[in-house]
Amino acid sequence: MSEPRKDQIEAAIGEYQDPYLETDLLSAKAVKSIEVNEGAASVAVELGFPADGYKPLLEKELRARIGAVEGVTEARVEVSWKVVAHAVQPTLKPLGSVRNIIAVASGKGGVGKSTTAANLALALAADGARVGLLDADIYGPSQPRMLGVRSERPQTTDGKTMRPIRTLGLVCMSIGFLIDEDQPMVWRGPMVTQALNQLLSETDWGELDYLLIDMPPGTGDIQLTLSQNVPVSGALIVTTPQDIALLDAVKGLKMFEKVNVRVLGVIENMSTHICSACGHEEAIFGSGGGARIAADNEVPLLGAIPLDLSVREEADSGRPTVVAQPDGEIAHRYLEIARRMGARLSMLARDYSRLFPKISIEDN
């Protein structure tokens, strides 16, 4: 039996189209090494997105493909992952030890953006990432209740920065931690913007792979100011299939384009209604809307989440779906969306500013 060649191993790997990267691992530059020695083939793969739950499946798939190559007597595959910082708006720099900030936005309220943001953050954490969640909705903060920590208060050790609240494998910050739950915030736009800047910059986030920002709904002054001042690696647009929601979602998408923030994809929430009594699924808000605006604006549809009673109940109880029913179908959908988001970001330009030396000028 002849010794298998490296190009044969590469060909076998190249035939596999990764479902999250939507290309083969060689084209994605995820294959770090291929070694062949006396019939034993060893392959090292490094993904650019959290993949603790995906690694065993990918290793099994690649072992089977490599093992089928003529002459291979043993196939060894090691899959790892590493999240790096990606480029932000040209005039801004990434935020300290936070590698990537992801804005979760919608053109209007009531589309389930906050529920989606919480579950995506938890999905990324479930796959091994270090994740933070900033509740940027000053007028209607909901993350303290959704994450089951509404009675918590941030602490400080130096009088200058606050420690975020730790819960469910995340760190999070919200104006809701600093006020009573029923206290209204009767503030004008500049005050709100200043408060959000402080929540972001005066929180000791620690080392994070991702910081998700649950943005306020709309495309007004507050949203525009945040998009211009916060170094964002990418944005997600949450919508429902309803025509009115889609119109506003497109406005949100266009806003990010105007401030040079890349839109990573569209998430269609409440895509269908699942009857809690019989399980019948029906598109009560219309169908195909998320896919349509994604295609029209040349961004991917990352996934669809049905309108299900359990999602609302679990968010209200402080244990969102990804932690309440981690093996359930809806939690699986959130995990799939989170991986597609991470994979798409991993294919975009990296930030190299941290590697450059700092130049200082002194008058001696």
Give mean pLDDT, residues 195-217.
Answer: 92
How would residue 105 be classed by pLDDT, with cut points 50, 70 and 90?
very high
pLDDT for the residue 280: 79
How would residue 17 be classed by pLDDT, with cut points 50, 70 and 90?
very high
Task: Give pLDDT tens digits for 165-177.
Answer: 999 999 999 998 9
Task: Give pLDDT tens digits for 306-338.
Answer: 988 899 999 999 999 999 999 999 999 999 999
How would residue 36 be classed by pLDDT, with cut points 50, 70 and 90?
very high
Counting every residue written for the chain, the total comes to: 364
pLDDT for the residue 33: 96
The full set of domains in the chain, from first to last, is 6-81 (3.30.300.130), 98-346 (3.40.50.300)
How does the average pLDDT of the chain come out, rounded? 89
pLDDT for the residue 108: 79
Which of 136-150, 216-230, 252-266, 324-338 is modeled with the greatest confidence?
Answer: 324-338
pLDDT for the residue 244: 83
**How many CA atoms within 13 Å lie on the side-chain side of 202?**
17
Burial of 96 (0-12, 13-18, 19+ CB in 10 A): middle
pLDDT for the residue 225: 78
Can you read off the two tokens belonging to residue 77? 């595959």
User: How far apart are alpha carbons 89 and 231 in whole angstroms?
Assistant: 6
Nearest CA among 238, 166, 171 for reference residue 210: 171
- Asked whether the beta carbons of 257 and 125 are under 8 A apart, the reply is no
User: How far apart are alpha carbons 201 and 132 in whole angstroms?
Assistant: 13
How would residue 129 be classed by pLDDT, with cut points 50, 70 and 90?
very high
- Which pTM does this prediction carry? 0.92
Q: Does residue 347 surpass a pLDDT of 60?
A: yes
Residues of the chain with pLDDT > 70, as a percent, come to: 95
Helix (H, G, I), strand (E, B) or coil at 46: strand
> Judging by DSSP bridges, how do beta strands 170-174 and 263-274 pair with one another?
unpaired
Task: Give pLDDT tens digits for 53-92.
Answer: 999 999 999 999 999 999 999 999 999 999 999 999 988 8
pLDDT for the residue 182: 73
Q: How far is CA 22 from CA 28, 34, 89, in A?
A: 9, 22, 25
